[in-house]
Amino acid sequence: MTDRPVALVTGASRGLGHAMALALASTHHVVAVGRTVGALEDLDDAIRTAGGQATLAPMDITTDAAMQQLCRSMHDRWGRLDLWVHAAIHAAPLAPAGHVQDKDFEKSVAINLSATRRLIAYLAPLLGTAGRAVFFDDPVGGSPFFGSYGTTKAAQIALARSWQAEGARTGPRVDIVTPRPMPTATRARFHPGEDRAPLSAPADEAARLLAEIGLAGA
């Protein structure tokens, strides 16, 4: 058991998810989900150095059985989930709409949309009426060459907006925020060679976005 609120961060290995997990660890017990074991261990070291606690879950969110087991484990251990931050994303290669590869589009659908749909179904009972979920918008849908990523990201946010509207009176609360451009691996795939100096640091964005949704100081 823990006397702290429990926060699940999917996509915690790197980038904004890593920064959000580290920021939340000052006030929450963080369950960090990601595919890269080494990156999760680095996150755990940083959290422990700062005096926080984390549970590492090196998993692929597209593996349905793993996600079911994760949710069952959280139920058995804590009986609840207070916050879900969904930062997991697949950045498919840019391509003209008529040249999008099947494997790139199918992987984008699997990670960005289908896994999100299943996670909402599995986590909603744990979040109950008092829990919260956070999604990150990236309004590039319809932009040239963003067929795979833009389409599936826009669909993910449309799904999140439906869930947000459905729970407006009953909960859980769903926040949808838009991060500023950051020097992440995802952005580097889309903008190679970009001057990264003007971009916002993920840690700064994590602090700003948490304040925006009323979790300042987390």
CA distance 20 to 49: 16
What's the pTM?
0.96
The CB-based long-range contact list for 18-21 (8 Å cut-off, 24+ gap) reads 18/43, 18/202, 19/201, 19/202, 19/203, 19/205, 19/206, 20/85, 20/87, 20/134, 20/206, 20/209, 20/210, 21/47, 21/54, 21/85
pLDDT (tens digit, 0 to 9) for every residue of the chain, 218 residues total? 568 999 999 999 999 999 999 999 999 999 999 999 999 999 999 999 999 999 999 999 999 999 999 999 999 999 999 999 999 999 999 999 999 999 999 999 999 999 999 999 999 999 999 999 999 999 999 999 999 999 999 999 999 999 999 999 999 999 999 999 999 989 998 999 999 999 999 999 999 999 999 996 54
* 3-state secondary structure at position 38: helix
What superfamily would CATH give domain 6-212? NAD(P)-binding Rossmann-like Domain (3.40.50.720)
Rounded to the nearest 10 degrees, what angle do helices 37-49 and 15-24 cross at? 30
Q: What angle do CA 37, 134, 7 make, to 5 degrees?
A: 50
Is the Cβ–Cβ distance between 23 and 210 less than 8 Å?
Answer: yes
Residue with structure tokens 């304040």? 211
* Domain coordinates in residue numbering, the chain: 6-212
The encoded tokens of residue 140 equal 């590039």
